[in-house]
Amino acid sequence: MATIFTRIVNGEIPSYKIAETEDYYAFLDINPLAKGHTLVIPKKEIDYIFNVDDDLLAGMLPFAKKVGRAIEAVVPCKRIGVTVIGLEVPHTHIHLIPINSIYDMDFKQPKLQLPAEEFEKLAADIREAYAKQ
């Protein structure tokens, strides 16, 4: 069965899309640690990041960098934290999280509850910043 992220890429499940290329897709995490928390995935469904082919893996970081630059243009923060966990959804993804301290990367913290309009506005603003690069 396809992963939830494959279904997002295929448009079967909605997402707050940030950007996409032929090989990659970025969208807002629905249970964010911070406003602008974004997931970057390869469209190809591969569970574990270290099973991703070298070429596909190598392209992921430049895409994530561009997405991260767009996020930091919209969400005030010291940096974009970058992490991979992957224990919940078996489809490779990189978390990009606006942070001001190490505690902002603590996945045990309560997640933000944002109204749909706020997700939509964040995604639209980050999309615009991405397109300007």
Catalytic residues: 93
β-strand partners of 95:
39, 83
Place of tokens 């969208």: 27
Answer yes or no whether residue 87 interacts with ligand AMP by CB under 6 A. yes
Single-letter residue type at 77: C
Place of tokens 């596909």: 56
Q: Which stretch binds ligand AMP (CB under 6 A): 24-32, 46-54, 74-82, 98-106?
A: 24-32
Answer yes or no whether residue 88 interacts with ligand AMP by CB under 6 A. yes
The sign of the torsion formed by the CA atoms of 108, 78, 42, 125 equals: positive
Q: Which stretch binds ligand AMP (CB under 6 A): 27-35, 59-67, 69-77, 97-105?
A: 27-35
**Residues in touch with ligand AMP (CB under 6 A):** 4, 13, 15, 29-31, 39, 85-89, 93
